[in-house]
A and B are shown apart, each in its own frame.
Chain A
Amino acid sequence: MRDPDIIKLFFSRSEDAITFSRMKYGAYVASVAGRILRDPRDAEEAVQDAFLAAWNSIPPNEPEKLGAYLCRLGRNAALDLFRRNRSKKRGGGETDLALDEMEELIAGGSAPEEAAERKAITETINSFLRELPGKKRRIFVQRYWYLMSEEEIAKEHLMSKAAVAMQLMRMRASLKEMLVKEGLYHG
């Protein structure tokens, strides 16, 4: 079933929307959640939350790319659960590392008070990603969106872990430079 047809089902409030979207994208969402949570039970919980969130948000939302939309919901649900677990001192590992790197990305920055600034930062990141060569862009997104470990990325791209780490470091530096230029870095 094609995405527009699934979205129509969401709009008609047919529970088949959940069935078909899970069939088509459940594995994808589960893998994203699994990478963040590293625990199959937690990941399944996040997947459930994600599809529930989809049910509650479509409509009004009408995503152009259903897969990415569901995946984002899965990622958000997994991160929420990760944070809850961490507060119970059950988290850690690769996700923490990736989050720490993100902090370094905008090191010393102050919290943006305005939603507009957040939007501007997102736009800057999108511009930054658009300018990157495909492979580098995939590496960046895999690290900071999918929260994959450097080792996982290295395997995926047939690179050494050190090479991945080096590329990520350079990309973070470039992004920082861009954010400074845009006045979005508050270091």
Chain B
Amino acid sequence: MDNEKMTDVMADIDPAFIEEARPGRMKRVLRTVGSVAAALVFCAGLSFVVPKLLKSGADDHTAYGALPTESVKNDPAQGENTSGGIGGEGSVRPSEPVLQNAHIAGATEDPQAPGKLDGDAVGYLLPAGMDFCLTQMTIDEAASRFNYIVTAVCRGSADEANIYPFTVADSFGKSLEGDIEVCIPDYSNTSLADGFRPSEGSEYLLFLSRRANVMNGREYFLAEQTVGRENGRNHIFDIADMTYDELIAAMPGVIAENPCTEPDEIIGDFIRSDDPEVIFEGSDAVLLAKVVSMTRPMFAPLTYDGDWILLEIERTVKGDEAKIEALILRAKEFPSAVPCALVPAGSVKEGETMVFCFTLIEGTGPLIVSAPNAIFSPDSSEGRLLLNK
């Protein structure tokens, strides 16, 4: 039998074996990239391709964060989107049935408005590196992946960053008590809209990770999987036949058999200092750059408080120019890339030249401010200090 026929024969093996052997959970990659990249890549994949920026003629002196297409970065364990199980909404709703491009609802209505982009957003498939809100997994995987697994009662509505107040009723994983802030992303106006909002007074089983948002300096928990009696957003595919109470009763056993192996760390943490020296030291790239154009992303926890900006570099004070160059090439290579850096909303204006301190996320881009206050005027004492480094 020759190779081709053998390959064909293997192609016909029992699909159960194929599913069982499905490679790669990418835990470490996700941990390395962190939620900052996660949210950015997620946003990019879903909705933040800005044809306007692409068309604006970014040249080799333009810094932007390149984001890969889903075919490049997706991992089989990530990037899935399915609704199922207890309390799953089951209503992901792309607005246009096309193979490659997803159209964001309302995107063409007002391209200048925050969160409204003209044109199609490429790649509604979820690229690797995002949070787990839309990731399919088993209950065993969920137990082993998240340090904080609690039942908690929602105490109110969300703030502008979709962070809800919850009170913990019971902890299954690491101990967590009292009132907590939980981000449950809002996907409305996107092809992933599922209509889910936690109801005040209702109890949910939450699989949580600790997150930080450099855009506003906040810390919170992100609900990676949310299971409720009646509603929720979970993609745990093997609990579909269980009631909420049955699941809660089973959780101690599940956790005992699948202890969490992930480090208890804050994903997307940032430099917690206003001292320019400290920020300079902790940043991967320090650039004197002009803001060519900007737009406002519309969702994902991180980017509620951020602006995407396109930069024209005037001087690289610190950083690996080759890496930045690679980002540029990568962005050019992939049409679904987003040419941008991300900064706190309203921190800069179009046409301004500023000193930016960035974190450079290897392999994925883009440039992200390394601290909530990481942008300095070149005329300020802090800016001059950094430029003279």
Contact = CB atoms under 8 A, between A and B. Distances in A.
B41 to A, nearest CB: 12
B80 to A, nearest CB: 6
A144 to B, nearest CB: 5
Contact of A65 (B16, B70, B76, B100): B16
B6 interface: yes
Contacts of A79: 7
Of all A-B residue pairs in the complex, the 8 with the closest CB atoms, nearest first, are A27-B79, A68-B15, A27-B74, A141-B21, A15-B97, A44-B71, A40-B72, A102-B6
Interface in B1-31: 1-24
B124 A137 contact: no
B132 to A, nearest CB: 13
Contacts of A34: 71-72
Contact of B17 (A1, A14, A129): A129
A33 B69 CA distance: 14
Q: Which of A47, A83, A105, A141 has the most CB of B within 10 A?
A: A141
Interface string A94-125: 00000110110110011110000011011001
Contacts of A76: 11
A168 to B, nearest CB: 13
A171 interface: no
A64 B15 contact: yes
Interface stretch (B82-90, B151-159, B244-252, B361-369): B82-90
Q: For the complex, would chain B's binding face be called helix, strand, loop or mixed by DSSP majority?
A: loop
B328 interface: no
Interface string B143-176: 0000000000000000000000000000000000
A134 B21 CA distance: 9
Interface residues of B, number: 54
Nearest to A65: B15
A130 to B, nearest CB: 8
Interface residues of A, number: 72
B37 interface: no
Contact of A1 (B3, B15, B92, B125): B92
A183 B76 CA distance: 37
A28 to B, nearest CB: 4
Nearest to A19: B97
Contact of A18 (B3, B82, B99): B99
Interface in B62-111: 68-72, 74-76, 78-84, 90, 92, 94, 96-100
A26 B125 contact: yes
Contacts of B21: 137-142, 145-146
B18 A102 contact: no
A79 B7 CA distance: 9
A134 B94 contact: no
A110 B19 CA distance: 31
Nearest to A26: B125
A148 B76 CA distance: 13
B371 interface: no
22 contacts: A1-B90, A2-B82, A14-B97, A23-B124, A24-B80, A27-B125, A31-B75, A40-B68, A40-B72, A63-B15, A65-B16, A65-B18, A99-B3, A103-B2, A105-B6, A112-B5, A118-B8, A122-B12, A126-B13, A130-B14, A156-B23, A186-B1
B232 to A, nearest CB: 16
B126 interface: yes
A30 B18 contact: no
A125 B9 contact: yes
Contacts of A28: 22, 74, 76, 79-80
Given A68-B18, A141-B13, A109 B90 contact: no
Contact of B82 (A1, A103, A110): A1
Given A1-B92, A23-B124, A129-B13, A68 B99 contact: no
A68 B2 CA distance: 24
B80 A30 contact: no
A7 interface: no
Contacts of B90: 1-2
Given A23-B125, A40-B71, A83 B4 contact: yes
A72 B18 contact: yes
A32 B5 contact: no
A148 B69 CA distance: 21
Contacts of A1: 82-83, 90, 92
A22 interface: yes
Given A26-B125, A156-B23, A99 B80 contact: no
B17 A141 contact: yes
Given A103-B3, A111-B2, A148-B23, A24 B82 contact: yes
Given A27-B70, A110-B1, A111-B1, A102 B10 contact: yes
A112 B1 contact: yes
A23 B92 contact: yes
Contact of A75 (B11, B24, B83): B11
A46 B125 CA distance: 16
A95 B1 CA distance: 18
Interface in B187-241: none
A23 B78 CA distance: 11
A102 B3 contact: yes
